[in-house]
Structure 1
């Protein structure tokens, strides 16, 4: 989460570049974040998703205050889709692990 915050609110010349498209980088980063939060969640997943959407919106808003950066609705949508995909995968992994744990004596 700290790396995403740093990459989102630092100046554009300090943003890491993986060579992938910027939207793919965003989606993958937020998918991983969503997956980890879904696996670790101890509250209803919808509440976690809403918190993560608020976090994402906050990052886009903060970018308005960083010279050379801008928060855009399109970026928010890409990141939110990444969160949704990652959280779905995380919920599936967590359900599989719970079932596997229940199958053991």
Structure 2
């Protein structure tokens, strides 16, 4: 379930990042908060679903984030910025931390861990 949710969030992020700025949904939140929350959800779902070392998942998430920022330079009216990469990467880190905590709690609740 978490893996499917992660892929859905990833698809929405790609759509919002490479579509023209006027097609982006407006939540009423600040742009940086929107970015942070979206990437936190992404990180959380993939951390929960992870079947490989969490550091590897984190590195994949950073590579995705960097690629997305680079791709925006080729979309008319969009631009990739280091500041945006930092905000999104922090969102991934926060989300993955929460995801690891949720996964550990769930494992303990099932009796999988001491």
TM-score band (shorter)? over 0.9
CA deviation profile, 1:59-93 (whole Å, cap 9, x unmatched): 00000000000000000000000000000000000
The 1:26/1:99 distance shift into structure 2, 3 A limit, reads same
Which runs of structure 1 show a deviation greater than 6 angstroms over 4 or more consecutive aligned residues?
none
Aligned residues: 105
Q: Distance between the aligned counterparts of 2:43 and 2:34, measured in 1?
A: 14
Q: TM-score, normalised by structure 1?
A: 0.97
Task: Specify every segment of 5 or more residues in structure 1 that has no aligned partner in the other structure, as ranges.
Answer: none
Q: Distance between the aligned counterparts of 2:60 and 2:24, measured in 1?
A: 24
The Cα RMSD (Å) is: 1.7
Q: Which position in structure 2 is the counterpart of 1:2?
A: 11
Task: Specify every segment of 5 or more residues in structure 2 that has no aligned partner in the other structure, as ranges.
Answer: 1-9
Q: TM-score, normalised by structure 2?
A: 0.89
